[in-house]
Every structure is written in C-alpha cells, then in structure tokens.
Chain A
C-alpha cells in the first residue's frame, strides 16, 4: 500500500488525483445525459469525455515520469501542431527543404528550454530562425509567392513551436522554484478547464455573441462565466501548485482565461481563412492538436512571462 501513500505525497500528484475525480463526475454526467436524452449532441459529448480520459492519462504519464520524458512529450505536441499547420496552409514545392529545417528547430528549442538557457530560448526562433528562413528561401531563387511563404512559415513557427515551447520552459522554471511540474499543471489544467467552463456557461446562458464572424458559438456569457470559474479555481489551487499567493493566483487565472480565449479565436480565424472547421481528425470529438492547444498557444507564453517576471531572477552578469 505504500505506493498509494507515495502517490498522494506531492501537490502535483494530489492535483492530478483531483482532476481524475472531476473526470469521473464528467463521465457520469455525460452517461446520464446520453441515457436520459439521447441526441447527436449527447453522443458528441461522450466522445469528447472519452478523449479527455486519453489525453489526461497521456499527459499525466508524461509529466510524472521524469523531466526528459515530459520535455520530449511537449516537443512532440509542438511537432504535431506544426505538422498540422504545414498541412493546412498552401506551400510551395521549392520550400520543402525549408519546412524540414523548420521541423529541426523543434528539438533545438525544446533542448534550450530543458537546460533553462533563458536568453537563447527567447531569441532562437524570433531572431535566428526568423532571419535564417527568409534568407534560405531567397537562396532557392524563386521570388513568386516569396512574401506569402515567408509570412506563413514565420507565423506558424512562432505560434506552434515558440509559443508551445513555453510549456517546457515552465517545467524547467517550476523545478528551479522548487515546485516541480506544479506551475505547468496549473497552466495546462486551468487553460483546458477554462475552455470547458466557457463552453458550459455558453451552452447554459449564452446569448450575446462576441465576434460571430470568427466564432459563432462564443458568447459574452460563456466568456465571463469561464473567466470567473477559472479565476476562482486558480485562487484555490495556485498557492498549492505555485509560489503565488491566493490573490495573485486569481489574477493569473483571469489572465489565463483571457489569453486562452484570444488563442482560441485567433486559431479559429486562421482555420476559417483556410476553409477548414478542424485542423485534423486526430482526437475524436475534438479535432486536431491545433484545435486542442489553441488556447494554450496564447496562455503558455503569457503565464510563463508573468511568473518569470514575478519570481525570476536576473540572469547572472546583468546587474
């Protein structure tokens, strides 16, 4: 029985236990819904809940095994997101090799996050890849569609690899602060919980649409309900999983809710422009990886930099 005692020994383990508790409740609700009022929406909901079991289990194994496994897992998510993006955008045949280099930036960026090389982590993609890719495209000698290709590749690399690599940096930073995977779990759990809360409040009370042209299902009621729910949950778990006190945690939760919403609608606008509803069919009921991590694309860098600004130390040699 000692492994059970061991399992509930750290805040991260306890929080994961609580998440599974919520998952059991969600499964019971979805089951009852499907039995009492069978409909297409009920089937769709149960598909989503089943996918949540899978995603949460994979994520749990990834963050509890060890830091190398966690970072490789997070890098693999970025790879899937970038692959989905490259598969959706119009690309030029001549840029095949450049796309390959863009993929190669993933192991480099996540290695920099793993060793906690903050300065290099910040500039590798926004400076080095940003300058290198257009130059490499230029050397191919094809100028037709140049600007479109450069713009699409740079933006895609930033929103997938750079933005998502902040999850790995957050893990490194959490370890440095003595909170292990706590801050990462705080970010990911609250970002996803905010998505679910926004969806639920929107279904229950939603009337006033925010930007119907981009996201017809997003309402002010859902957004505000999600914001309050997420801030409240953050106030409750923040002091436990991160160094932030209660009020600061609530503010971080609100920031995650707002940035998560912005990420969601930004990726929606991108998909709408490309003429697709879902980025792929990888996760039943959810769509692709990009559909699942859209909120995280915004909330990860913003929460990381909030935490770093509040609790980070200046790199040696600056002051």
Chain B
C-alpha cells in the first residue's frame, strides 16, 4: 500500500512540480547506477535535494532507492516519521557519537545487502545554502565494510536558492545536477575521503555558479 502511495506521490506530485518549478538540467545521467547495491553521494542544500535525486531515477528503481537521513530530525513526530519512512523511504540513522557500542551504520549495510541504492549526504546537514561543507567520514567506513559497492558522486546547484533551510516558500530557479564517474574503495578511509572530496570539487567546477548572497 505505502509502495503504491510512494509511486503515486512521485509520479503525480514530485515530478510535475520539480519539472515546472525547477526545470533541473542533468549532466552525466548515464553515470547513475542502473541497479543496487550502490551508493549515491551528494552535497546537501535543501529538502528538495532528496526529492530531486529520487525523481532523476526511472520509476522502476524507486522501491530500491533509500535516502539516509537523521533520526533526530525526521523521526520527531508521528506524521513526519510516517511520511519520511513510507513515502520518502528514508533509512533513519543516529547522528553524532552517542552510544559508543552501537553501530549507526548497521541499517545502511543491511540495505546494501538487500541490493538497495543508498543516497547519502556526507555534509551531515543542509547547512549554509549553496556552500559545500566538509564531508563526514561515515561514508568511507560504510564503503570499507562493503568494498565492492560502487560510489556515484553527484553535485547539485540552485536547489538551496529555491528552498533554503530557513524557508517554506518555494521560489522557482533553474537547477543544475552533475553526476560524476563511479568511484570505488581506495584501501583507506583517508584516501577515500580525499578522492571523494576532489571528485565533488571537480563536479562543482563544471557548473556555472551564479553569485547569491
């Protein structure tokens, strides 16, 4: 039932609204994973990021697309938690240290083992709109434990202008998305993070950025 609702929500609401209000221009669509298990790593500026990425895939991929999101933010209230898990399809994880013995990445590994496509935002939060902040290392630890998983870097620009963190008013802007060449595990957490960061910086350089301050 919720699978049907999820499909209808994306087909009838998300896709038309994004097409009309944003008109996203995607480069490198061929670099997106055709099937799981795979990890898509993206920068994070807006609530629209997740919807935009989910809408870029063919509808048949939708059931296996799982955005990884902060439990403390999305699981606060009943209706929000229902919407986040059933319609958006998030995997809620615990942000920050907390319990040292618990493994916050366990649900992500389970999803990869099921053949899902994970969507990760290693900046941790939407932060300052349209500014790229440092990546957290969780993604590298996840890839380390499943070293065969392909990693697809993806950079978005403009969504933070259309719907920034502190606003509920969607203002139409054209947005850009670039999907980069697939990365794989490099052997160490540090070198993987370096590869990932430089891949993202390279993708950002392909976009004509318009000043916004």
Q: Which A residues form the contact surface with B (CB < 8 A)?
A: 79-80, 83-84, 86-93, 96-97, 99-100, 103, 275-276, 280-282
- A282 contacts across to B, CB distance below 8 A: 23
> Chain A nearest CB: distance from B134 CB in Å?
22
Query: Does A83 lie within 8 Å of B169, measured CB to CB?
Result: no
Indicate if B76 sits at the interface (CB-CB under 8 A).
no
Given A83-B173, A97-B169, A100-B171, decide whether A91 and B208 contact each other with a Cβ distance below 8 A. no
> Chain A nearest CB: distance from B35 CB in Å?
28
Query: Does B173 lie within 8 Å of A92, measured CB to CB?
Result: no
Indicate if B174 sits at the interface (CB-CB under 8 A).
yes
Q: Which of A87, A97, A276 contacts B158 (CB 8 A)?
A: A87
The 9 closest A-B pairs by CB, nearest first: A87-B174, A90-B211, A83-B172, A87-B173, A100-B171, A281-B25, A96-B171, A99-B171, A280-B174
- How far apart are the CA atoms of A275 and B207 in the complex, in Å? 12
Query: Does A84 lie within 8 Å of B169, measured CB to CB?
Result: no
Query: Does A96 lie within 8 Å of B169, measured CB to CB?
Result: yes
Query: Does B23 lie within 8 Å of A96, measured CB to CB?
Result: no
- How far apart are the CA atoms of A174 and B23 in the complex, in Å? 33
- How far apart are the CA atoms of A132 and B137 in the complex, in Å? 49
> Chain A nearest CB: distance from B44 CB in Å?
18
> Chain A nearest CB: distance from B120 CB in Å?
27
> Chain A nearest CB: distance from B127 CB in Å?
14
Between-chain CB contacts (< 8 Å), 26 pairs: A79-B172, A83-B23, A83-B174, A86-B173, A87-B173, A87-B210, A88-B210, A89-B210, A90-B212, A91-B161, A92-B213, A93-B129, A93-B212, A93-B213, A96-B167, A96-B169, A96-B171, A97-B171, A100-B171, A103-B171, A275-B208, A276-B208, A280-B23, A280-B25, A280-B174, A282-B23
Q: How many residues of B contact A (CB 8 A)?
A: 17
For A281, the closest partner residue in chain B by CB is B25
- How far apart are the CA atoms of A84 and B210 in the complex, in Å? 12
Indicate if B164 sits at the interface (CB-CB under 8 A).
yes
> Chain B nearest CB: distance from A283 CB in Å?
12
- How far apart are the CA atoms of A73 and B34 in the complex, in Å? 36
- A86 contacts across to B, CB distance below 8 A: 172-173
Q: Specify which of A83, A92, A103 lies most central, judged by the most chain B CB atoms within 10 Å of its CB.
A: A83
Q: Specify which of B25, B171, B172, B208 lies most central, judged by the most chain A CB atoms within 10 Å of its CB.
A: B171
- A97 contacts across to B, CB distance below 8 A: 169, 171
> Chain B nearest CB: distance from A48 CB in Å?
19
- B210 contacts across to A, CB distance below 8 A: 87-91
- B172 contacts across to A, CB distance below 8 A: 79, 83, 86, 103
- How far apart are the CA atoms of A97 and B163 in the complex, in Å? 11
For A80, the closest partner residue in chain B by CB is B23
Query: Does A84 lie within 8 Å of B174, measured CB to CB?
Result: yes
- A92 contacts across to B, CB distance below 8 A: 212-213
> Interface digits, B105-146 against A, CB 8 Å rule (1 contact, 0 not)?
000000000000000000000000100000000000000000
> Chain B nearest CB: distance from A111 CB in Å?
19
> Interface digits, B190-213 against A, CB 8 Å rule (1 contact, 0 not)?
000000000000000000101111
- How far apart are the CA atoms of A48 and B72 in the complex, in Å? 51
